[in-house]
Structure 1
Amino acid sequence: MPKKTIKRFMPDHAKIRNHKHLKIFGSLVHEPNLWCLNRRSAAGAFAVGLFFAFVPVPFQMLLAAGGAILFRVNLPLSVALVWLTNPVTMPPIFYGVYKVGSLILGRHGDKFHFEPTWDWLVGSIETVGPAFLLGCLVCASVASLIGYFGISWLWRYSVAKSWQKRKEQRR
């Protein structure tokens, strides 16, 4: 079940292999393990993709592709999962990440006031930055672990359920 569901939403392999930004990885992109879909590669891809989804940089997809190549997990799935943080979901997710970081640092009384100006951004790096970056690291790690073990468990559960169903049909 998870394999069929995941395959339905995965982008075309040829399209990703020939993407202009992935040319920096050269022939590493053509390794067959990056394109197969099994329990290990799917769980690893969820871990890599969800980790880099919480990294606040504009080139998250390249980082996810590099992580997929490094850990030899499914590349299209890793890259697709980075889009968890897209322009619509990024503000609430990153605000939550900041709150997690400020909770860990013990800054409960810090008031957060956003202004869409360059001066505010530069000035807030010292005040908001540490809590935000710590929150990003913690949330990325937690999401990565939940994604890895959650998909691994779901995959095993689905296989056991289908075996049980086949066993009952034989009777």
Structure 2
Amino acid sequence: MKSKKLALTLVISAMCLLTACGSNPDTNTTDKTATNNGTTTNETTGKDTINDGSTVLGTDYENGTYRGSYVDGDVNQISIEFVLKDQKFESIKYRALSYKGENYLDEAATGVVKAIREQYQQAADALIGKTISDINILYKPADVVKDVDTVTGATLRTGKLISALWDGLNRHPYKLP
């Protein structure tokens, strides 16, 4: 019994030492150059860092056409297709956009459904010409979409679009240029 406790203690101690003593060369470098989009690029690693310290994973994505989706409860609520060139969004189009059985892409839609479709398109359009590291601007839809609170209230969920974009990036290009 004592030998099991001792072995467990040694394993935990070793893990703690490895975690605390391990160094990450990406975080120990000091040669950084600020960029104009709220990120900092490390000249040694080429990785972008957002002001809050999180790493932007988009510095190595290939040019091409990507597809991504946001699925909740086995229901595909958002499917998008976007073109990336030199880490910038050239186009973003919705392939599916629905919620609770309502198809927001229906061209015959009117009223709130049409307004929601237009707002989702405004959110996507806000990224055109911007880099992957700019995806986070969508977390504040009122900054990129007109009348977000007065027309749809809480219906516009740009987090779903953000998720679909990252899904597409994680899947890699659907089609190369």
**Structure 2-normalised TM-score?**
0.30
Larger radius of gyration: 2
Greater strand share, structure number: 2
Greater helix share, structure number: 1
Compare relative contact order (CA 8 Å, sep 6+) and give the higher one, 1 or 2: 1
